Structure 1
């Protein structure tokens, strides 16, 4: 069976992801849909497309055409239950410089000298709201050079020396969409002094995938944990101190809508930029996970082989190594590797595939998601379902129901015309 035919309320295990388009296949894997992952069909849109599924602790909306590329086995009635994380009380956020051990620490930018930030995050995580909070009316809109992708720049409030560029909303740094390529090239070529990565705290498992890739870019970085007010209001919590230690970068809980935590976020961002404080860790391999040891050896073997090329091309070594595993043509071209080196890299990757029992793209995605699952298990207490969400689901049963959606649409449109 393929995922597009799975009935509502059924669970199944992903057997394979097939696509002639390698970039699309990688995009699907980057969403967490890797072989061996259990998925639950939640609901279909009234016209049958798109569909909503649950996997790895979060909900994902998928186009039917993409779901048709995913083969399933072991279809059964759902037995999915909410993960029973031990409850953690909300803890005070550490002061500046505590809770994380970054690399660097020497003054790189003098007080008053210009600082450039890049704001990155998933779509619908509050990035635009945070950008408006950071800049107020001190912003302008244009395009990135050579492409019709929106670019917003602004000056940070109370910090006239600091500017921030709002990068397009993306889910990964894979070369699938123009937005992903633009964001990656801006960070690599323009080399902002620090990254501000905004995360939706209510959907932290999905958002951390981009965070790990940004950390691999080895730039000064701070994580803004947005919507923390919603998490706490619904009985959830995040051990921010432990999360900082696991990721190796400062994490600041904020509420962009209410303007809470914004000053502390700016303080941390300016600090890591001025002192060039790089992430405290770049290695997210889990040697004890499925195929983890093989992936670990593969990435580090490639990194040692390409280190001089990466430095010459000014591409972070760890980032370059993972992109070579993915077969990223942009990185392969930038590194200027000769045929013998490319053959050696291919041999290392093939050996990893043989040891791990899966293909290179699936192994790399599984490595990252295994680390994320461990982090969330240690640091996150999932909130219970809010009254607002329960009310929304109840309304959706009528407004998007299979038999009621079209009549409700016609009724609402008739009411609009009558009122007009």
Structure 2
């Protein structure tokens, strides 16, 4: 370097610092790229995204290439800085050049480009991928040798290289949906999260319980049957013989009314119009049952326990409401008919309400891993059938039992203003 002027060395040093900044920024930009957005852009034909995706398919080679380039540049820059320091300051110039170069490299070739690349990865990664791909083609033998040496050392140390996966777990996907912000409307976020929760909810959590089924005993007087069909609030009604466990099938009100119009309405003709029963095992997750409804082309089914006893009824609409919300709700966020606000701030609640519905509507946190109704939860907690005016604290909420009949808690008063989180 004796024949090269000091000014030329300065220019060469500046170019090396710029190259170092390029390698540092490119490394951060490539590693910071959003993999899912990258795939989206690449699938739409974005050339820069396609090159970046190809490079990231072998991150070990990409990192090896960048480290080789960055270290070669920094070592060469250090040598040139030493020569310049000795020419300008003599022997003490070695120390001066080392200190100055370290500061310059840290600020201009490391921190600044890496920070910029972390903030704006795509504008840096996509153009730089062109040069990186060209360099990788040239230096591939050297990169392979370095990676082989590295992997050999890791094996000697007993460390196995495991290929990382970009697949998201359910909780990670939930976080992505939460952090989408304005990119996904809040209502759509709620629906996506509800879909993720389907696997954690079983059919018995949302079914219409057995004692609330609207069903018709086919052994009743025919006039009574006819009256029940006319007054039915549902399009399909369950027919049974004396007990719900001896269910006959579902009859569509359209078919029953058609028989009435043709004056062919008898018990025999009604039984011939019955649709075959579809049974659902208790404990079936909602996501599985949704697929089963679709596969079997069914819209409703009876939930049975391990002994074959009917526990309730689940419809396709019930599952869809878990995703999109209640179809019958109004535009106003008003409490359901089971919840009656009082002037003193307390709430009178029908104790047969489903706990999951109560938690969802009021934002409460009653346990859902046991009984399905508030009545069942109270009975489990007290281990006895209480009398009216009994008070207790459950899940942090003070509860007063208002009415008890037929061995059930009918109505309770809950005082949310006295909620105690330490009791939950």
TM-score greater than 0.5 by the shorter chain: no
Q: TM-score range by the shorter chain?
A: under 0.3
TM-score by length of structure 1 reads 0.21
**Which has more helix, going by share of residues?**
2
TM-score by length of structure 2 reads 0.21
